[in-house]
Homo-oligomer: A and B are copies of this chain.
């Protein structure tokens, strides 16, 4: 009994010391991240030296090489690449104009994955205020026409307005095609009045495929005003998009090897590819930069984390989630050692909430306490693992969300305006601080039970 008590006291003491050191390092990480411009330097490097990097392009290959070199330069213990195969899509020349009654050019861009128009497509337009309105339309209203879906997107802190309009972009073309439409134009899923169209994936449902493109908000307004005049409105649309099967890119993975449980992984993730229109600073250079910088900060602490901290930069998130699918296709035994996954892919805003915290209450409390000075609170909302991480989460890997303010995200998202100047270095540092703290605490927790 006495021996047992002594052992217990020693354990408590040891745990207490360790816990104290872990908490101290967590505070130090937070402060170092806030004072550091390292994440911004990584983002500056990626957006300046690589720029737009659509999956499978020459620039994507350069981005992979850049990421490998950057992980190594940052001192990661192990850097690997994981092949990812997919069908790539390439934008070609694209143009649209009102040809009657009053000729005017429109700012247009093909949706990712859209088929081309095979030369000029001329047709009358028919507009619907929403996808349900199109669904309710008769084929007679739609046949042979270019369908316009013109729903506006709502600006919200959580970016939830995107979910309201996303089906318009994802499913609009297939629904319009089934009613005999010749093409689909959507009002850009955006919260800005910039004359720049916003791209994003179209999903064909297996039926007929028709060309699908986005026009800018002001152009959607223009068509709406022309149609209100009661005269037929004719458009010319030309999209020279192509697809390339069996393309190759890579997930790029950097590990800070755990000192006690190296096979157990705490995983931070983002995606390396971007759309072709901007330089992918916000989407998702921001996530790339902060996860790489968070791992590098942890690496520089006096003691390595108990578990491995892994940063995964996924291939081709934008047009198929192929990197995440490939990663999540690991054997169950390997994913069983993944103790936590986080993803940063929701813009460049500050983090305000910790959601879906670990099942370990003490760990959650410690995270919340360490994040509080960053203005981050447990707000009790359900959260979401993120577009790529959900494939890993679906394999029963615990996840948590550091929820960002997405109020400004859809001003620039998926458009030519996604450039470095849209990123606030202080917000990037705050995000880096939060990810490094959470990764460090999770990687050092006594146990990281799976969540149900």
Residues of A in contact with B (beta carbons under 8 Å apart)? 44, 47-52, 58-59, 62, 98, 101-105, 107, 193-196, 217-218, 221-222, 225-226, 229, 278-279, 415-417, 419-422
- Tell me whether A196 and B193 are in contact in the complex, defined as CB-CB below 8 angstroms, given that A103-B58, A416-B107 are known contacts: no
Query: What is the distance, in angstroms, from A61's C-beta to the closest C-beta of chain B?
Result: 12
- Of the listed residues A50, A103, A278, the one surrounded by the most CB atoms of chain B closer than 10 A to its CB is A103
List of B residues within 8 angstroms of A194 by Cβ: 194, 196, 417
Q: A279 and B222: CB pair below 8 A?
A: yes
Q: A48-B226, A222-B48, A225-B44 are in contact. Are A193 and B422 (CB under 8 A)?
A: yes
- Among residues of B, the one whose C-beta sits closest to the C-beta of A51 is B104
Which listed residue (B52, B101, B221) contacts A420, Cβ 8 A?
B221
Bound CA–CA A369/B403 (angstroms) = 55
**Inter-subunit contact B51/A279 (CB<8 Å):** no
Contact in complex: A416, B279 (CB < 8 Å):
no
A223 (CB) vs chain B CBs: closest residue = B48
Known: A48-B226, A225-B44, A226-B48. A419 touches B195 (CB 8 A): yes
A426 CB → nearest B CB, Å: 17
State in angstroms the CA–CA spacing of A217 and B421 once bound together: 9
With contacts A59-B103, A62-B102 taken as known, whether A278 is within 8 angstroms of B50 at the C-beta atoms is: no
Residue among A196, A222, A419 with most chain B CB within 10 A: A419
With a cutoff of 8 Å between Cβ atoms, the chain B residues found around residue A196 in the complex are 194-196, 416
User: What's the nearest-Cβ distance from chain B to residue A222, in Å?
Assistant: 6
Say how far A72's CB is from chain B's closest CB, in angstroms: 19
Which residues of B sit under 8 angstroms from A103, Cβ to Cβ? Answer: 51, 58-59
Q: How far is the CA of A417 from the CA of B415 in the complex (A)?
A: 14
Q: Which residues of B are found within 8 Å of A52, using beta-carbon distances? A: 104-105
Provide the residues of chain B in CB contact with A420, threshold 8 Å. Answer: 218, 221-222
Q: Which 8 A-B pairs have the closest CB atoms?
A: A51-B104, A218-B419, A195-B416, A48-B225, A193-B421, A195-B417, A49-B102, A218-B421
